[in-house]
């Protein structure tokens, strides 16, 4: 991933000589609006009273209709998070009832934090409800640090994939024109942070199964399994033929990088409806990938070639007229489409070392655990 290149020693010397040290220091930080807004929210949270001694809301499931004394504290947290109006009050029953109104506010919070939006107050939801101002300030500080690692002026036309939030953003000449859900790598086979261009579209791709999957999830499978999944052995490699049941779906977006990471379609589109979308072996599955490929083909002036390749039924390659930079970035705090500061969990557990380096106390691990089997890349 490209990082800002600067001769800081020379710049500092010039600033001291010219008496512009204050201006030089101010110019070191990124100047985009998102960085400014996150910085402001960080300062607001740091100004709030410390909450380290608060034991938080106790454990245990709460479902609609339950009478539970913890509902009062839940409503208080929802009001603070602006999920309920300031005049909201829990049910007058003692203990208060977990009503549909409160459950709907919890559902909105669950969606914002990327956890299952089922209206049930369970362990993941309680972790979010128990986040204090200090926890949120810590998360924002890490996000700001990650932003400082990136180049100050990213390519105007690019694709950004936020693997922490499982979201794709397509910018055309600096303007956001498309947003899609994605499925990113699971813990243990994380999608790495990198910048790499898409250089061609692959229609009706075949999939050569990596040896790690062949000797792992597919170890010991027989001829019946291969036939059932439209696979065959070629020179010791398992290859899945083109088709709607192919793990890559009907389109692959080839990228230049040493990690063999790329974007692709999927034969399991139902996964995009999940709140947590981290289950691949590192590659990125794109929601409505055919529609996205069509959009890129139109922008590149290769629509006719792309549609012809698609219609053939066999694997065919269509070169882009101009490569499109793709940045795979990891940020669990960002400004969402509604202009709000959005928080997500830390699915890979990557934030702890950065927070520690920034001087923050350690917090409980929020890394995802995945025990689901998925053979796709």
Active site residues: 264, 283
Cβ neighbours of residue 292 under 8 Å, at least 6 residues apart? 170, 178, 180, 286
233, β-bridge pairs: 238
Residue 209 and residue 232 in contact, taking contact as beta carbons nearer than 8 Å? no
Q: Where are the alpha helices (DSSP H) in the chain?
A: 8-18, 21-28, 33-46, 71-80, 100-112, 123-129, 133-149, 211-214, 223-228, 289-300, 303-311, 351-357
278, β-bridge pairs: 184
* Token digits of residue 268: 């399991």
* Token digits of residue 265: 């379609």
Give which of 77, 45, 49 is closest to 62, Cα–Cα: 77
How many whole angstroms separate alpha carbon 135 and alpha carbon 37? 18
């Amino acid at each position: 991933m490209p990082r800002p290149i600067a001769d800081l020693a020379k710049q500092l010397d010039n600033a001291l000589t010219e008496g512009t040290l204050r201006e030089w220091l101010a110019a070191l930080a990124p100047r985009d609006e998102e960085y400014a807004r996150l910085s402001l929210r960080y300062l607001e949270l740091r100004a709030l009273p410390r909450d380290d001694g608060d034991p938080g809301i106790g454990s245990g499931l709460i479902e609609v209709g339950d009478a539970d004394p913890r509902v009062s504290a839940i409503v208080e947290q929802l009001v603070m998070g602006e999920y309920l109006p300031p005049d909201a009050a829990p049910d007058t029953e003692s203990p208060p009832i977990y009503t549909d109104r409160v459950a709907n506010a919890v559902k909105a919070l669950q969606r914002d934090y990327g956890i299952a939006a089922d209206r049930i107050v369970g362990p993941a939801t309680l972790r979010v409800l128990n986040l204090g101002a200090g926890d949120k300030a810590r998360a924002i500080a890490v996000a700001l640090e990650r932003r400082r690692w990136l180049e100050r002026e990213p390519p105007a036309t690019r694709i950004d994939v936020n693997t922490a939030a499982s979201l794709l953003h397509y910018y055309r000449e600096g303007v956001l024109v498309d947003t899609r859900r994605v499925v990113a790598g699971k813990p243990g086979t994380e999608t790495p942070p990198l910048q790499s261009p898409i250089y061609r579209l692959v229609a009706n791709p075949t999939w050569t199964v990596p040896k790690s999957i062949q000797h792992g999830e597919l170890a010991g499978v027989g001829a019946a399994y291969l036939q059932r999944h439209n696979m065959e052995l070629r020179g010791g490699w398992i290859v899945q033929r083109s088709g709607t049941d192919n793990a890559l779906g009907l389109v692959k977006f080839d990228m230049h990088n040493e990690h063999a990471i790329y974007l692709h379609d999927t034969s399991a589109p139902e996964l995009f409806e999940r709140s947590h979308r981290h289950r691949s072996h590192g590659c990125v599955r794109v929601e409505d990938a055919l529609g996205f490929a069509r959009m890129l083909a139109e922008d590149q002036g290769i629509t006719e070639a792309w549609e012809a390749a698609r219609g053939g039924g066999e694997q065919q390659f269509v070169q882009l007229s101009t490569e499109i930079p793709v940045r795979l970035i990891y940020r669990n705090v960002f400004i969402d489409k509604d202009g709000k500061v959005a928080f997500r969990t830390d699915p890979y557990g990557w934030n702890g070392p950065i927070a520690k380096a920034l001087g923050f106390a350690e917090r409980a691990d929020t890394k995802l655990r995945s025990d689901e089997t998925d053979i796709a890349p």
